[in-house]
Amino acid sequence: MSARAAERPPIDPIATLRGLLRAHGRAVEDFDFETHESGFQELFGGGGILAVRCRSTGEERLYATGADSAWLGAFILDLGAGHFAAFSRDVV
């Protein structure tokens, strides 16, 4: 780990996700967030598990947080792919 990385305070995953939801035009109130301790903390740089649930759709996703995980990128991809959006079927 570099000296610069050691100086940075850890990011708050829930505050980060709320900001991303706002930036994507989503209602933050429609989402629930829960953090859980993980027995695999050494694999993910000391993080835990973050559960994100969309109330209106019931979609729930789990992300392993920590300095060595890609949870933020995974959440952005899930959000962009529509995993938290309401299901719609095109009528032909």
Residue 88 lies in a domain: no
Residue 38 lies in a domain: yes
- The 3-state DSSP class for residue 52 equals strand
Residue 86 lies in a domain: no
Q: How far apart are CA 59 and CA 78, in angstroms?
A: 11
**pLDDT digit string (tens) for the chain, length 92 residues:** 555 555 666 678 899 999 999 999 999 999 999 988 766 656 556 678 899 999 999 999 999 887 778 889 999 999 999 999 876 555 55
Q: How far apart are CA 8 and CA 22, in angstroms?
A: 24
Residue 90 lies in a domain: no
Residue 59 lies in a domain: yes
**How many domains does the chain divide into?**
1
Residue 48 lies in a domain: yes
Residue 16 lies in a domain: yes
Read off the tokens for 8. Answer: 């940075």
Range of the domain at 54: 3-80
Predicted TM-score of the model (pTM)? 0.75
